[in-house]
Amino acid sequence: MHTTLAKIGNTLKNTFNSRSNATKAILAATSVGATFVGSGVANAAITITGINASTVVTAAPYSEFNVSGAQSSNFSEFQDTKKYNLQWNGQSRVLNSVTAGSQTWNLYSQLGDAKVTARRNAVVTTNNTSIIWYRGTGNTNSTTLQFNSAKINTVEEAYASNNLWAGVDNLFINAGDKSFNNTNIERMDFVFTGGVDVSSSLAFAIFDRGGKGDHDGFKIAAVTSIDGSGKPTAYGDLLSYNQGTWGKYDFAVNSDALITRTGNFPGAITKPASLVVQQNMGGTLIPTSLLADSGTTPTIYGYSLFAYDTSGTGNQLLNWKNASVFPTNTPAAAGYGLDPFASVFVVPEPGVTSLLLASGVGLLMRRRRSNKIVAKNQVVATKSLA
């Protein structure tokens, strides 16, 4: 356990002062001698069957006017000969907890030392774009498009944000998208520079926009070591999730998604590109113990996501510019167009253990550095919401 009694005491004090009498009694009893035990969660991916979320204001409303569409004039969607007013409302739909395996899992936090990096093949310059989807209102016949969230400038920002109203579109698609929403991203790194302990009670949540029988395939591997800048230097086993085999539960009502496309260079203009109508959301929990064996690899540093057509293992996954391992023609075909959002790190709520963890005690964090962990968009639930 990587914390101090002083930290535990401070957290218990803060939590005690803000909770109900019943919760205070539990915490008081716990503070004088608790034994922390595992949750008994099976070492397997777990379908997310429900969510609890809150709407919060994260930025002031923002608008851009007379923006050309991203498509050529003979295209059916947002054309470059038409002008649109883009309005971002500055709100986020933040995740408090999820239900999975008949259990509530609380948001641990978007940890302050988390680092998200999209690894791009710079050779594919024509697709050097950031493609973002938003929940909002408007269509190709509208002069004004309204996006629920604040404006998002990069895929890293979209993936790191705890926001159910925005995400990355076509994360790994290199070629063939009918709306030309192709990119040159080959790998997405989600790294905790302080490391996390491998446990069945610590899980990463992976979400995708789409129907419950239609979520796209992807591959994932634990980052088992990093260099001083947080770049992965070694991986665990590469796990595959086939199209339609995960996230088999719709936890949000059908809603449209407005897609924007922005060049990945300074000063690029964000343009409306396409509209995807009536899609749900789904997700899965992947316990850290599924990504690595705690007996041989007690600490990991997050994970990397890969396109479904990525091949190779181990050190072959380090060089994302190797086209023999990372194909640069990943197609816009069924099973490849992953549209992820709200990447979060969660712990189960079996009782007092979860109350302490969700309050930010951080008992299971392995710290290599003295830098302070600060939660980003942290929303904590201390009562079962299942």
Rg (CA), the chain: 21
- pLDDT score, position 359: 32
Is 70 in contact with 59 (CB distance < 8 Å)?
A: no
- pLDDT score, position 149: 96
- pLDDT score, position 43: 56
Residue 38 lies in a domain: no
Does pLDDT of 59 surpass 70? yes
Give the residue from 308, 337, 342 showing the smallest Cα distance to 179.
Answer: 337
- Tell me how far apart the alpha carbons of residues 386 and 381 are, in angstroms, rounded to a whole number: 11
- pLDDT score, position 117: 96
pLDDT tens for each residue of 73-121:
989 899 999 999 999 999 999 999 999 988 999 987 545 678 999 999 9
SS3 362: coil
Which domain covers residue 275, as residue numbers?
A: 5-27+49-358
* Cα separation values, 97 from 162, 198, 378, 384, Å: 11, 21, 11, 9
- pLDDT score, position 53: 93
- pLDDT score, position 126: 82
- Tell me how far apart the alpha carbons of residues 307 and 168 are, in angstroms, rounded to a whole number: 14
Class of residue 374 by CB neighbours under 10 A (exposed 0-12, middle 13-18, buried 19+): exposed
Least confident of 233-237, 352-356, 359-363: 359-363
Q: What is the DSSP letter of 371?
A: P
The average pLDDT across 328-354 equals 80
Mean predicted lDDT score pLDDT of the chain: 80
> Residue 62: what residue type?
Y
Does pLDDT of 356 surpass 90? no
Is 96 in contact with 107 (CB distance < 8 Å)?
A: yes
Does pLDDT of 272 surpass 50? yes
- Tell me how far apart the alpha carbons of residues 281 and 283 are, in angstroms, rounded to a whole number: 7
- Percent residues over pLDDT 70 in the chain: 78
- Tell me how far apart the alpha carbons of residues 124 and 226 are, in angstroms, rounded to a whole number: 26
- pLDDT score, position 15: 34
Residue whose token pair is 């085999």? 245
- What's the CA angle centered on 62, arms 58 and 66, to 5 degrees? 155
Least confident of 17-21, 131-135, 177-181, 316-320: 17-21
Name the residue with higher pLDDT: 268 or 113: 268
pLDDT tens for each residue of 28-54:
222 222 222 233 344 578 999 999 999
Does pLDDT of 10 surpass 60? no
Residue 365 lies in a domain: no
- Token pair recorded at residue 264: 């990945």
- Token pair recorded at residue 273: 């590109």
- pLDDT score, position 12: 31
Least confident of 129-143, 228-242, 253-267, 346-360: 346-360
- pLDDT score, position 94: 92
Residue 165 lies in a domain: yes
Does pLDDT of 268 surpass 80? yes
Residue 170 lies in a domain: yes
- Tell me how far apart the alpha carbons of residues 186 and 188 are, in angstroms, rounded to a whole number: 7
Give the residue from 161, 153, 171 showing the smallest Cα distance to 92.
Answer: 161
Does pLDDT of 122 surpass 90? no
User: DSSP assignment of 174-237, as one string?
Assistant: -B--TT-----EEEEEEEEEEEEE--TT-EEEEEEES-TT-PPPEEEEEEEEE-TTS-EEEE-P
Class of residue 367 by CB neighbours under 10 A (exposed 0-12, middle 13-18, buried 19+): middle
Is 259 in contact with 273 (CB distance < 8 Å)?
A: yes
- pLDDT score, position 350: 55
pTM of the model: 0.80
SS3 170: coil
At residue 165 the predicted structure's pLDDT band, cuts being 50, 70 and 90, is: very high
- pLDDT score, position 241: 95
Least confident of 121-135, 176-190, 256-270, 282-296: 121-135
At residue 360 the predicted structure's pLDDT band, cuts being 50, 70 and 90, is: very low
Task: Tell me the sheet residues that pair with 21.
Answer: none
pLDDT tens for each residue of 234-253:
999 999 999 999 999 998 77
- pLDDT score, position 357: 35
Phi, psi of 178 (to 5 degrees): -65, -25
Residue whose token pair is 């007379």? 66
Does pLDDT of 283 surpass 60? yes
- Tell me how far apart the alpha carbons of residues 157 and 117 are, in angstroms, rounded to a whole number: 9
Counting the structural domains of the chain, the total is: 1
Buried b (16+ CB within 10 A) or exposed e, 152-190: beebbbbbbbbbbbbbbbbbbbbbebebbbbbbbbbbbb
